[in-house]
Amino acid sequence: MKRFAAVVAVLAVPAVVLAADQQPGGGGFSFLAVFLQMLASLALVLGVLFLFYYVTNRWFKLGAVAKTGERHIRLVETRYLAPKKSLVLVEVAGEYLLLGSSGDRLNFIKQIDILEEIEVVEDETKRPPFATVFQGTFDAVAAKITAMKQGRADTVARHLRRS
């Protein structure tokens, strides 16, 4: 109800502006009036869009099953192996299933009874954090710049010695 009152208040602004323009002796052009009318029109369009969104979600109940229903399927992890090929670990009603996904096919690989059976293998190809890589690159560039500056200074010093 508060939203409806706010929309009505915003829609009343053009009427107030129109009444102010129609005062006796006031026949000039007002930028403020045009600006307020533009804002009121924008509020009207946004209000209609919001109303349309509310009505479609309320009446047609799009996605109502996903919002209100209890979820029995949960995606635990996805590991991509190649383009359009991946391994998917899914929990369905307390049971864990390992599935293989390739393109438009989904293949059952193995049922895992207990989550503790999943052995955690550390990835040997761990990459260093971005900050470490950036710091190393920055230090290398700074060293090259310092060497270049020293090289120029040495060149200038040699040139002055010859003179």
Q: Please write the tens of the pLDDT for every residue from 127-136.
A: 667 777 778 8
pTM of the model as a whole: 0.33
pLDDT per residue as tens digits for the range 68-120: 567 788 888 889 888 889 999 888 888 888 999 988 888 999 888 765 555 55
Cα separation values, 36 from 10, 20, 28, 31, 159, Å: 10, 12, 16, 9, 72
Per the prediction, the chain carries an average pLDDT of 75
Please, what is the Cα angle at 69 between 63 and 70, to 5 degrees?
A: 140
Quote the pLDDT of residue 60.
76
Quote the pLDDT of residue 41.
95
**Domain range summary for the chain, segments of one domain joined by +:** 2-64, 71-117
